[in-house]
Amino acid sequence: MPCMQFTTSEARSWLCLQDAINVQINNLARDNLHDKLDILSDLVTDEFWPWFANYMVVKRAAQVWPSQLLVYAHLPTHTT
C-alpha cells in the first residue's frame, strides 16, 4: 500500500516503523548482527520486505554507508 493511501494513524505507524528500522540499521555491526537481526525480523513483516530490500540497496548500501557493505552482505544469510 503506497504511503499516499495511508490514513493518518497508519502513516504515523509507518513512519514509526521506518524510524525503528533505521535505529537498528544505524547500530548494526558485526558484533551485534544476530541481536539486531532478531529485532529486525520482528519489525519487518512480509508486507514490508519489498520496502526493506529497496531501502537497504538504494539508501544504505549504495549511498549512505558503503563502508558497511560487509555487514550488510550478511543480512540475507541470517534473515532467511
pLDDT tens-digit series, residues 68-79? 666 767 666 555
Report pTM: 0.66
Integer Cα distance of 16 and 1 in angstroms: 16
Query: Crossing angle for the helix pair 33-43 and 8-26, nearest 10 degrees?
Result: 170
Helix then strand then coil, in percent of the chain rounded to 5, is: 85, 0, 15
Give the residue-averaged pLDDT of 17-41: 88
Q: Which residue has the cell 505507524?
A: 13
pLDDT given for residue 77 in this prediction: 58
| AA identity, residue 17 | L
Integer Cα distance of 29 and 11 in angstroms: 29
